[in-house]
Each structure stands twice: as structure tokens, then as C-alpha cells.
Amino acid sequence: MGILLNKIRHYSITLELTKGFFIALLSAGFIYLNHWGFGAPLLYTILGIWTLYLLLGAEKLVWFIAGAFIGLFWFWWITLSLNHYGMAWAVPLVALVIAFIYGALFWLFAWMSEKLSSKSTFPSVFFKAFFLFIFSYIHPLGFDWFKPELMFVESYLGIQKWQFALVLLGCSLSIWKKQWGYLLLIILAYQPPLSENTLVAEMKQTQDIALITTHTSVEDKWNEILHPAQFQNIFNHIDQAIEAKKTLVILPESVFPLFLNRSQTLINRLQEKAKHISIVTGALYWDGKTPRNSTYIFTGNTITVANKVVLVPFGESNPLPDFLSHWVNSIFYDGAVDYKASSQVIDYVIDGVTYRNAICFEATSEKLYEGNPKNMIVLSNNGWFTPSTEPTLQKLLLQYYSKKYSTTIYHAVNSSASYVIQNGRYLDIKF
């Protein structure tokens, strides 16, 4: 009898492990298919609904396993940055930490759902649906890239909260009543696609802008010996944009990896070019006390500096308490000082058009979309995480915010393709 019970227990655990793994695999399908170039709205719709249906009907252990693998499938690329600090040994450890954090969160939500259900007349599936609904507002260590509704960003369903609520309600009722018909509620979350005329008009609006893509590795970027050649390449891009009669050229994050406000030679050279074209470029800024990750805007005789508002957890600012933060910085980052964030979002005007400033990570933060900005310029350096699915997930998040807030996003990137997103739609434009 004992052997039989052990076999049954082993089978049960294996089944739950397999189910959790499968749910996580389904949840990440839209990322990897998009990364490999498959545009399949119907498939993305099915994958998203299937993920939620299976997860809502699962028990605590499955939620833990699914959460752990979701953390890995969605965010494994975070560990790649450690290679640039000579800490390859820490890659598996950090991967396990990521898996545990998301696994623990999912398990906690499932456990709370069952506890709340036992003390009320509502079945646990509705509490689970509620926790999935609010998950996009929960940011472990300041990292806010997990949004369950993101699975539908390129599907036939909308990503607004009320639309996601309908999807969750349809799945929950179907599980509770054991009737598939309730899934028809999901049809109400349908999002009509943009017309071709609208897309053509949108693409025409970008013709006067040059978005520059660079391909500089992290190691080369900070090698001062290579800076003269790198900087000359940047000015060559600016000259090409001028020759193409563009009115604005946008360069990636920190293409000038130095305190640009302390380099008068480069400032003078950029100002000279700005007589012919407006320039938006990434560089560092030193205020005499702490470094800042900044955008420099050259328009005519004017120079505007817009500092970053939302810093990357651990990458630019340590989210831990001060006593731990100093220890982590001294052990892992050679005692480097954290960057300093600006206190408020910055808008600037070029040729009569207002743009919201955003630098890499912060463009995927809700804070940057306060006031529903019509246009946003984003500068990124994806060299820390390429080759990986990070640029794809970043693009999908920008599509999500563009669709949610009707913001046109101009994204200049190092180490992956630059692009424009309008109304949540990625525009394949040659610059």
C-alpha cells in the first residue's frame, strides 16, 4: 500500500509540475513567436485565453510552478547583464531568485484566494481572477514588466483593464459553472484593427525623422580609446540625416558615454550641426555631486537637458535599504555611486511638436504616461541583454502603453532595431 501511495503522490507531483510548466510556456508564447517574426493575432488570442483558463482552474502548487517558470521564460535575460560585470558564476543563482520571487507571488495569491473563498460564498476562482487583474500593479523590487494582459497586445482582444476583466470573468464563470458558453463573454473584449488608410497616414508622419540604430558592445562603449571612432560614426549619422533633408535625428541612450555637459568640444560640434537639424541624443550629466542618465536636445541655439525619472532597479539605483545598498554596490559594482533620478517627467518642444522624454526602462513605466502624452521619444541601450528576447518584450510593452494611452513612440536603440509605434502598432519603416 505504501508503495502505491508513493507512486500516486509522485504521479500527482509530476502532473502538477508538467501543468505549471505548460501554463508558463503558453503565457510566454506571444513573446517568442513575436521574437521569431510570427505575426498571428488569432494564435496570440488563443494562447492568452488558454493560459488564463488553465491557471484559474489550477491549485496552489501549480500556481507556484507556473509562476516560477513564467519568471524564467519572461525574464531570464536579466541574468545576461552579470556577464558584463565578470560575474558569470552568479547567473544561475539570479535565475533561481527570479523564479522563486514570481513562484512565491503566484503561490501567495492562490493561497489567499482559497482562504478568502473559505470565509465567503464566492468560489476561489473569482479571487484568483482578481489577483491576476491587479498583478500589473505589483512590482517586485521596482521591476514592473510583468503584466498578464500584455499577452493580448497583438491579439484580437484589447489590453484595457475593462477588456482584461471581461476575459477573466468569462474564464472564471466557465470554470465555476463548468459550461464553455460563458467564454463567449470574451467577444466583448474584441478590439477592431486599424484601417490600412490610418496606417498609411501614420507612416507619413515619420518621414522627417531619422531614428539611428547603433551596434556598440557594452565593453567597447566604455573604452575611451575607441571613443573618437565611435563619436565620428555618430556625426556621420547626423550628416547623413542632414543630407536626407530630415528635420530631426534621434540617437540612442548614452551614445556619448561621458558627462557631455563637461565636454565643450563635443557640445560645440553638436551645436554646429543643430543649425541644420534638431538633435536628440543620450549622454551622461554631472551636476557636481551625482551622475545622471540624460537626454540632450539641440534645437537651433538652444540646449535642453532632460534627466531620467525612473531608474533601473540594481542597474542604476539599488532598491534595497541603504545599509544593504552600500554593501551590494561595494561588492558587485566596485563601489559605484547610484544614479540620481529627476523628480518629474520632462516634456520638450521641437518644431512645434511636444515630446515626452523617456530613457530605456522608464518608457515601460506607467509614470511616464501621466497626462497622456501624444508623442514620446525613447532612447535605449539594449547591449546589456542582447542577443535575447529582451528587445522583443520591450517592444511589446511599448506597444501596450502606446495602445493604452494613444501615444506615438519614437524609439532609437543601441544593439537592436529602432522603430516607431503608433496606436499600439509597430511600424516597419526604413530610416
Q: Which of 221, 360, 362, 404 is catalytic?
A: 360
Cβ-proximal residues to 99 (8 Å cutoff; 6+ apart), any chain: 68, 69, 71, 72
CA nearest to 83, candidates 389, 383, 417, 414: 383
Cβ-proximal residues to 387 (8 Å cutoff; 6+ apart), any chain: none
Residues in the chain, overall count: 431
Q: Which three cell numbers stand for residue 73?
A: 521564460
CA nearest to 16, candidates 72, 59, 73: 59
User: CA triplet 216, 222, 226: central angle to 5 degrees?
Assistant: 70
Please indicate whether residue 178 is annotated as part of the active site. Answer: no
Q: Which of 253, 316, 362, 390 is catalytic?
A: 253
Q: Which of 19, 60, 308, 340 is catalytic?
A: 308
CA nearest to 124, candidates 133, 115, 132: 115
CB 272: neighbour CB atoms within 10 A?
Answer: 11
Please indicate whether residue 308 is annotated as part of the active site. Answer: yes
- Tell how strand 353-359 and strand 375-381 pair up: parallel
Please indicate whether residue 360 is annotated as part of the active site. Answer: yes
Catalytic residue positions?
253, 308, 360
